[in-house]
Chain A
Amino acid sequence: MAHANAHAVKRYSGIMDWLTTVDHKKIGILYLIAGGFFFLVGGLEAILIRVQLWAPQNDFVGADTYNELLTMHGTTMIFLAAMPLLFALMNAVVPLQIGARDVAFPFVNSLGFWTFLFGGVLLNISWLTGHVPDAGWTSYAPLAGTTYSTTHGVDYYVLGLQIAGIGTLVGGINFLVTIINMRAPGMTFMRMPLFTWTAFITSALILFAFPALTVGLAALMFDRLFEGNFFDPAAGGNAVLWEHIFWIFGHPEVYILILPAFGIISEVVSTFSRKRLFGYSSMVFATILIGFLGFMVWAHHMFTTGLGPVANALFSIATMLIAVPTGIKIFNWLFTMWGGSIKFTAANLFAVGFIPTFVMGGVTGVMLAAAPADFQYHDSYFVVAHFHYVIVGGLVLGIFAGLHYWWPKMFGRVLSESLGKWTFWTFFIGFHLTFFVQHFLGLMGMPRRIWQYLDGLGFNEMNMISTVGAFLMGLGTIFFLINVVVTSVKPKNAANDPWEDGRTLEWTIPSPPPEYNFAQTPLVRGYDAYWKEKMDGHKGMTPAEPIGPIHMPSPSILPFFMGVGLFIAGFGFMYSPDWGDVGFMKTGHLVGAIGLLITLGCMLLRSMIDDHGFHIEEEEILKDQGGKA
């Protein structure tokens, strides 16, 4: 029996535990810490941008530094803050919501985190070496090519994102497989909580969108590091090709980000209204439709590229269509609250604040979809206002809602409600102050990504308001950090269902859950599984199996070293023109090869060593249950 071999319990403690963990809950926390850190970095960059723009012809930072700041702000926020924070919540919650003991591939999950982290660190080390990406988060060629960008700046962008992108892609695949295969008995697709649904669709979008980015970055890498000419028009390349590749990835990316936020809002609004989500099946359908249409609209980022009237007309209409499923969602949320009993916890404040804010971002999206009018809006502050309404007013408010909501499940401690409300009001008011006026700045003729604006153009007052708002958002973030610190010293005493109105499976198990999540896999008897049991007068879920030994995956340090290897390789290839030769090859290439060997060696070890995992025995589970009671 394999059972006997796999019996030895492999567990580490302290720092080794975090480096080797394959537990989705711990990986969720790692994503949260790393994503939170990068959120602060990106936020600091944003504040510096706003300080530079607070007065006309300001000289707070130089023109070069300004372009570095705007590039790194965008890149960091999208790839290193927003995505990982969503992955944090998906890791922490999705397996619990479907009644699973972990994700399908725990090792790959850990690998996804470490490659993301090392990619992100590589990108941000550029600040220390002084060669910072400065061609915008879109890195349009030829500005991002070697002719016009002669430092290593864009190299950091290309390699950092490529490595971080591996993490996102494997993470997405992992969630797809997990949601398809690991649902508890009775958890049919149409009984899945909406957050799980959105995580599922987002993972599908990742699966199709990220390879486009990978290909684009690989081509740009060849241009920059190995004298390729994909995007160099002087050598027969095509700069517009990069725009297409980037946006074929870039537009679905927007939906990759926003869909999980939709899921969070659906959960939070429903829980705190004590009501079933209104129009569940049309919500699911709308999510799928948004995901599908998300791939059909990339060229609306390129109306001014000169694709011609037929393309512009088609992409205009396709883009407008997305408003329909999005509208369905908005009204379903409103009617979930309608007739409910709404409790305004901090989490719900964020969720309720999200709805009108997101609508404002959505309607400007439809306005932008009208190509002839977009000739005026495009690359102006109107666009800046629009996408911040969608990403900050949508996604970030959603993440805050989710963090306040699931914090007790992740850490066993409920965040302070009053500090949470301070966070909400300062952040929410600051957000609208910052970005509402930017619509008008754009319409009045202020282009985006400009280092200075001239005096006397009527831009001064609104820019000042915008800067004040940015500081207020910073203050909101500080309140949240204080909340985290204050809460972390409180006793770990959150109940299984701290909100008392929990509807889904994650609220049936202890906060935080034991390593194995569910001592007994639950039997799901309907949508809102836990709520159904409550309404039927049951205290908890009906188990689908007797208590018995639970098979667990072994922790592993290999994913960490695979990340390290790619990190080293990135450096080597990047600096090969500078580091001279060693013997017959370039020093940089040797370093790069060593890095790749570390990664490949880890893969080899993983394939060679047969690891059966270990079992948690019945006694331990019973002891856990007794201890918690």
Chain B
Amino acid sequence: MMKRWQIVKRLAPLTAFLVLVLAACGREDLSTLNPQGPVAEEQFGLMKLAITIMSIVVIVVFAISLYVIVRFRRRPGDKTIPKQVEGSHKLEIIWTVIPIILLIILGVPTVQSVFNLSKDYSKDPEAVKVIVTAHQYWWEFEYPELGIKTAQELVIPTGKTIAIQAKTADVLHSFWIPSLAGKIDTNPGGNINHMYFSAPKEGVYLGKCAELCGPSHGLMDFKVKAVNPDSFDRWSAAITEPVALPSDPAIAQAFESKCLVCHAVGEYGGPAFPNLTGIASRESVGGILVNVEEGEKQYKHEDTLYNNLYKWIKDPEAVKPGNGMSNQYDLTEEELKGITEYLSSLTLDFE
């Protein structure tokens, strides 16, 4: 008995070390191992418990394997016949009962957490409701209480529970913000899924589509931007304000006839494709072309806002293969620059 407890003692620092290593893994805004909100925290807790139990299992099996492999190797020329053992009831019971105990240790918190995370906050007056609609390669975020429809960037107030209703306009997608909460599928045909999460800290968190949805599935990123509640109120006010069309009539004409057929700014245009109001305040263009300041470009997918918009509008197919915007319009170089210029000015002042 003494001996067994010593083993546990010896394992304790190991598991602590393991957890430390895991926690250091990956970016704060992307890794499930570095949770930034209570939901991801709870899931990470379960993961840590599971990883610890499973590490013990793996270590035990590895140790026995290694011992057996070394200890019972056949020496050259050895002709002896080992004792033929049929089995052992005692051992069979041990390796049936111990796993069952380990599974109970894991199973109870699992069931608790399943019910805990399935809470529906969609009727809670305190929660911010968001209807998430996935489209092939972009995300639509509707705030029904605030009358806001935006795209690609989910702006949320810190500390508040965000109640998500997830659905899709086309195929299956899956809504995932690794550092804040696990994923939920977006089912077609009025089959709406619920989930919730919250972000106590301000910051931008990376979101991903996690269900194969077509060629650009891997590029269907979005951002969750957590701002303090005051900024959030300013944002929700700013995004509902009217927006002026381009001042140059030629550009305005091109913008209206070619862009606003599908997109909307302010009260102009249609709702079928991403709303462009405040696009210049977003972190990225098209979800993946990340906007940085002039001279800070580090990676292939980063550039200034203007360059990103220009690149995207000029040839969206090169950025996101198979997206709905490819080959839908013809713009002269002048119009392209004018529209890019105009969109670069569509900022929202709220931070």
Taking beta carbons and an 8 Å cutoff, which residues of A are in contact with B? Answer: 56-57, 62-64, 66-67, 134-136, 140, 142-143, 148, 233-234, 237-240, 273-276, 278-282, 304-306, 308-309, 312-313, 316-317, 320-321, 323-324, 327-328, 330-332, 334-335, 337-344, 352, 355-356, 359-360, 363-364, 366-367, 369-380, 440, 443-445, 447-458, 535
Contact = CB atoms under 8 A, between A and B. Distances in A.
Contact of A359 (B61, B100, B321): B61
B300 A455 contact: yes
B114 A313 contact: yes
Interface in B104-144: 106-107, 110-111, 113-118, 136
A308 B118 CA distance: 7
Interface string B266-291: 00000000000000000000001000
B1 interface: no
Interface in B73-89: 73-74, 78, 80-88
Nearest to B300: A57
B210 A378 contact: yes
A321 B50 CA distance: 15
B36 to A, nearest CB: 12
A342 B188 contact: no
Nearest to A142: B171
A310 to B, nearest CB: 9
27 contacts: A62-B215, A64-B321, A135-B212, A239-B187, A275-B82, A275-B83, A279-B87, A317-B110, A317-B111, A328-B92, A334-B65, A339-B72, A339-B83, A356-B58, A363-B54, A363-B58, A366-B103, A366-B106, A370-B106, A371-B114, A372-B114, A372-B116, A375-B117, A375-B183, A378-B174, A443-B33, A457-B30
B43 A316 contact: no
A350 to B, nearest CB: 14
Contact of A148 (B95, B117, B214, B300): B214
Report which residue of A57, A279, A281, A344 has the largest number of chain B beta carbons within 10 angstroms of its beta carbon: A279
B27 interface: yes
B301 A454 contact: yes
A143 B213 contact: yes
B230 interface: no
Given A63-B322, A456-B299, A352 B65 contact: yes
Report which residue of A337, A378, A447, A457 has the largest number of chain B beta carbons within 10 angstroms of its beta carbon: A447
B182 A374 contact: yes
B171 A143 contact: yes
Contacts of B243: none
B251 interface: no
A342 B73 contact: yes
Contact of A380 (B116, B118, B210, B298): B210
A401 to B, nearest CB: 15
B156 interface: no
The 5 A-B residue pairs with the shortest CB-CB distance in the complex, in nearest-first order: A375-B182, A450-B218, A233-B189, A444-B26, A63-B215
B74 A343 contact: yes
Contacts of B26: 440, 443-445, 458
Given A309-B118, A341-B78, A316 B31 contact: no
Contact of A372 (B117, B171, B213, B298): B117
A313 B115 contact: yes
- Chain B interface size range: 35 or more
Contacts of B209: 447
B62 interface: yes
A306 B185 contact: yes
Contacts of A56: 299-300
B206 to A, nearest CB: 7
Contact of B298 (A136, A238, A456): A456
Contacts of B194: 306
Interface string B181-220: 1111101111101100000000000101111111111110
Contact of B65 (A355, A451, A457): A355
Contact of A341 (B74, B99, B189, B214): B74
A356 B114 contact: no
Given A62-B321, A342-B69, A376-B40, A452 B187 contact: no
A366 B100 CA distance: 12
A313 B111 contact: yes
B296 to A, nearest CB: 12
Contacts of A360: 58
Given A306-B187, A316-B114, A444 B32 contact: yes
Given A62-B215, A237-B189, A370-B47, 5 more contacts: A56-B300, A278-B85, A278-B87, A304-B183, A379-B210
A233 B186 CA distance: 13
Given A323-B99, A372-B42, A445-B178, A342 B72 contact: yes
Contacts of B92: 279, 282, 328
A451 B321 CA distance: 11
B235 interface: no
B215 A274 contact: no
Contacts of B12: none
B25 interface: yes
B64 A273 contact: no
B176 interface: yes
A353 to B, nearest CB: 10
Nearest to B66: A356
A375 B214 contact: no
Contacts of A374: 182
A363 B172 CA distance: 29
A349 to B, nearest CB: 10
B261 interface: no
A445 B299 contact: no
B170 interface: yes
Given A135-B212, A143-B212, A240-B187, A376 B182 contact: yes
Contacts of B65: 334, 352, 355-356
Given A135-B212, A306-B193, A374-B182, A330 B43 contact: no
A447 B184 contact: no
Contact of A239 (B111, B117, B136, B188): B188
A454 B288 contact: yes
A366 B50 contact: yes
B148 interface: no
Contact of B25 (A63, A369, A377, A444): A444
Nearest to A143: B171
A63 B323 CA distance: 11
B20 interface: no
A308 B69 CA distance: 46
B57 interface: yes
Contacts of A445: 26-27, 30-32, 178-179, 206, 208
Report which residue of A63, A282, A373, A379 has the largest number of chain B beta carbons within 10 angstroms of its beta carbon: A373
Report which residue of A136, A148, A342, A455 has the largest number of chain B beta carbons within 10 angstroms of its beta carbon: A342
A241 B213 CA distance: 18
A113 B163 CA distance: 53
B189 A324 contact: no
A458 B34 CA distance: 13
A140 B212 contact: yes
B110 A376 contact: no
Given A279-B92, A453-B218, A339 B178 contact: no
B250 interface: no
A56 B301 CA distance: 10
Given A334-B64, A339-B83, A447 B208 contact: yes
A136 B22 CA distance: 31
Nearest to A355: B65
Contacts of A278: 85-88
Nearest to A452: B218
Contacts of A379: 174, 176, 183, 210-211
B172 A444 contact: no
B260 interface: no
Contacts of A135: 212
